[in-house]
Chain A
Amino acid sequence: MGSRVLGSARGPLWVAILAGIFAGISTSLLVSAMLVRRDRARSAPAESDPPAQTVPPADRSASWLRDARLAQLERRLSEIERQPAPAVAGGPPAAPADGTRRYEQEIRNHDAEPADPRWAPGTNSLIETDLRSLAASGTFKVVGVDCRTQLCVADVQWPSPDKAGAEYVSLVHHLYPANCPRTMVLPPAAEPGQPVTAKLLFECAEWRAAGSQPFRLDDASSLAN
Chain B
Amino acid sequence: MTKRIVLAFSVSLAMSATIGYAGLSRALPNDVRAPGWACTVTNGGTEGQFVNQGNQSTNSTLQVACPIPDVYNGVQGISTVQVAILDNSTTASASASLCVSLLTGGTSCGAAATVPAFVTGFYTVNPPTFADWTAPNFGYALVTLPRRIAGSPSTTVQGTHSF
**Stretch with Cβ within 8 A of B (4 or more), from A51-59, A93-101, A122-130, A155-163:** A93-101
For chain A, what secondary structure do more than half of its interface residues adopt (helix, strand, loop), or is it mixed? Answer: helix
- A76, A174, A185, A219: which contacts B105 (Cβ < 8 A)? A185
**Stretch with Cβ within 8 A of B (4 or more), from A23-31, A41-49, A112-120, A139-147:** A23-31
In the complex the two chains form, is A28's CB within 8 Å of B20's CB? yes
In the complex the two chains form, is A98's CB within 8 Å of B111's CB? no
- A12, A25, A97, A219: which contacts B103 (Cβ < 8 A)? A97
Cα(A119)–Cα(B134), bound, Å: 30
Question: How many residue-residue contacts, CB under 8 A, span A and B?
Answer: 212
- B18, B44, B107, B110: which contacts A168 (Cβ < 8 A)? B107
Q: Which residues of A contact B44 (CB under 8 A)?
A: 170, 223-225
Q: Which residues of A contact B137 (CB under 8 A)?
A: 98-99
User: A68-B25, A99-B100, A172-B108 are contacts. A24–B92 as well, Cβ < 8 Å?
Assistant: no
* Size category, A interface: 35 or more
B1 within 8 A of A: yes
Chain A's closest residue to B14 (CB) is A24
In the complex the two chains form, is B136's CB within 8 Å of A98's CB? yes
Q: For residue A92, give the distance in angstroms from its CB to the closest CB of chain B.
A: 17
User: A24-B20, A217-B93 are contacts. A16–B130 as well, Cβ < 8 Å?
Assistant: no
Q: Residues of A with Cβ closer than 8 Å to B?
A: 9, 12-13, 16-25, 27-29, 31-32, 35, 64-65, 68-69, 72-73, 76, 80, 96-100, 102-103, 168-170, 172-175, 179-186, 203, 206-207, 215, 217-220, 222-225
